[in-house]
Structure 1
Amino acid sequence: MPLRHTVLVTLSAAALGGCSLLGSEPAPTVTALATVTAEPETVAVPRPTVTVTQTPAQDPEHDRPLWLGQVPLPVGEDGLGARGDTPADLEDRQLAPRAWLPDPPDDEWFAEISMEVPADVAVRSSWDRNCPVHIDDLAYVTMPYWGFDERVHTGEMIVHEDHIEDVATAFEQIFAAGFPIEEMRVISREERDSPTTGDHNITSAFTCRLVVGASTVWSEHAYGKAVDINPFHNPYFKGEELFPELSEAYLDREREREGMIDEASVVYTAFTGIGWGWGGHWTGREDWMHFSVTGQ
């Protein structure tokens, strides 16, 4: 049966008029209904603490180790944690996602797009008034992805409104090919600012942050114009810098494992097909997880 591609775009009345690194309770169901744009005063205070519970997979092979994300690393002047060997459990990492949005009822493709970031999503994101992009310029999408547990899960992403449909198109191709993704969700400010544990593996787009290892340069992620996919399987590597810091085993790109990206990957084909550049082509450093509008 061919996959269906449904993109539901909701616009506010103002728009139609031509105007402008998670809780113990399950996260609320996301809908694609238009919502009131979160103003800076709304999203700045107060901010809830966001945590995610560890949920066992149906198949023990894909259970998440209880220590995952729990052991902070010593941090250097570059803001990165101390580089270390990959734990044996993560050398061929195939973990189920943490409980987040409800799984879809079937394995049909969908992309539900809101051209305004819902207020509740904005509050639990990393956006604030100091970010280089206004919340009004960002959009929100929910879409399915295949997990390493061979089940379909619901993912979410904040992307710049000019590129939201292209990103959904790329992920439709990735989904059709059955490429596995560990998690796809919005990263909160609390997660971004928490002590690094070196085992991060969240597929995401917008995160209000600086370039890895930089102190003054905004990342393309801070504009919603970049996507990182399976960071642990596809780390950033420059000299002695490695992120995630415990992904040493995945520097061996000759040893092909599920979730890795190279030029033969459907992920590479999908994102270069919409004109985005790949960090795996950078000179003097590699960022195999990273695709962006500008190639930076």
Structure 2
Amino acid sequence: MIIATLAAAALALAGPPAAAAERPRLPLRPDGYGVAQPTPPDLVDRRFPTRDVLPPPVDGAFTSTVAPVPDDVLARSTWKPGCPVQPEDLRYVTVVFHGFDGAAHTGELIVAAAVAGDVARVFGDLYEARFPIEEMRVVEPAELAAPPTGDDNNTTAFVCRPATGSTKWSAHALGLAVDVNPFQNPYSKGDLVLPELASAYLDRDRDLPGMIRDGCPVVAAFERIGWTWGGRWTSPVDRHHFSQTGT
């Protein structure tokens, strides 16, 4: 359900991390995913630059919009004929969020029409709590085939794909799931960690910006709209995943 790090002391580090092509590739498991390895030193507690896809808010106050998905947004999303939801049953949501740089940014999500208002309210709560989010943009088709290294730390919702390790549709394919800061909150099952380079964040005793813990503002906000948190699952443990359906 992957498909952007950072202690406060690391905010002064300059320059983006090395490009993915310059990093050593991880050995592959039979399923094609990399075997869990320690996070390279240049990525531990380091902030990636925020990628803005929409203009920043004018005054920094929280605002949100909910509208039918524009044709150009749908065209760059992962929706295609055969997905388990029709475009008219989806909504394009924009919300303001706090970045790891402390500034306000505007992000975008595609979610199911029935939950669009609830999802916007969740991010309003996170904005008030000043919970930092690195990036928030619509997932594009090419990303579905990209190695899950964690080069992006994208908070996102609709992705037309099966659940990880399954042939069944993910709740993301219905617009009924949201992933928040995957790099700080990795998915794990046995020795598999996704994103591949996020192994250092399996230590949940660390208190770093962007991490999600039981009882934190992120869990509380999603629980208020009746969604469940994958961080409470036994196997896999999906620390960045929230969904209405529990999958």
Alignment TM-score > 0.5, same fold: yes
Q: 1:127 aligns with which of 43, 67, 79?
A: 79
Q: 1:258 aligns with which of 187, 197, 209?
A: 209
**Structure 1 residues 276 and 252, CA gap change in structure 2 (3 angstroms):** same
Q: 1:246 aligns with which of 190, 197, 220?
A: 197
Determine if the alignment matches structure 1 residue 142 to structure 2 residue 100. no
Alignment of 1:96-175 (within 5 A): 96-114=49-67, 116-175=68-127
User: Identity of aligned pairs, percent?
Assistant: 47
**Structure 1 residues 101 and 165, CA gap change in structure 2 (3 angstroms):** same
State the TM-score, normalizing by the size of structure 2.
0.90
Contact 2:52/2:135, CA 8 A, preserved across alignment: no
Q: 1:221 aligns with which of 144, 158, 172?
A: 172
Contact 1:62/1:96, CA 8 A, preserved across alignment: no
SS of 2:127's equivalent in the other structure is helix
Shift of 1:162: 0.4
Q: Name the CA distance, whole Å, in 2 between partners of 1:153 and 1:171.
A: 12
Shift of 1:81: 2.6
Shift of 1:210: 1.2
**Structure 1 residues 94 and 198, CA gap change in structure 2 (3 angstroms):** closer
Highest RCO, 1 vs 2 (Cα 8 Å, sep ≥ 6):
2
SS of 1:89's equivalent in the other structure is coil
SS of 1:136's equivalent in the other structure is helix
SS of 1:163's equivalent in the other structure is helix
Task: Give CA-to-partner distance per residue, 1:24-62, whole Å, 9 cap, x none.
Answer: xxxxxxxxxxxxxxxxxxxxxxxxxxxxxxxxxxx7536
Equivalent in the alignment of 2:185: 234
Alignment of 1:71-90 (within 5 A): 71=23, 73-90=26-43
Task: Give CA-to-partner distance per residue, 1:92-116, whole Å, 9 cap, x none.
Answer: 13333124211111211111110x2
Q: Name the CA distance, whole Å, in 1 between partners of 2:21 and 2:162.
A: 21
Q: Name the CA distance, whole Å, in 2 between partners of 1:131 and 1:180.
A: 32
Equivalent in the alignment of 2:8: none
Contact 2:50/2:134, CA 8 A, preserved across alignment: yes
**Structure 1 residues 207 and 70, CA gap change in structure 2 (3 angstroms):** farther
Q: Name the CA distance, whole Å, in 1 between partners of 2:177 and 2:117.
A: 14
SS of 1:270's equivalent in the other structure is helix
Give unmatched runs, 5+ long, in structure 2.
4-10
State the TM-score, normalizing by the size of structure 1.
0.75
SS of 1:275's equivalent in the other structure is coil
Equivalent in the alignment of 1:284: 235
Contact 1:69/1:200, CA 8 A, preserved across alignment: no
Give unmatched runs, 5+ long, in structure 1.
1-20, 22-58
Task: Give CA-to-partner distance per residue, 1:189-248, whole Å, 9 cap, x none.
Answer: 11122233344410000011111122x111110110000000010011111111111111
Equivalent in the alignment of 2:224: 273
Equivalent in the alignment of 1:64: 16
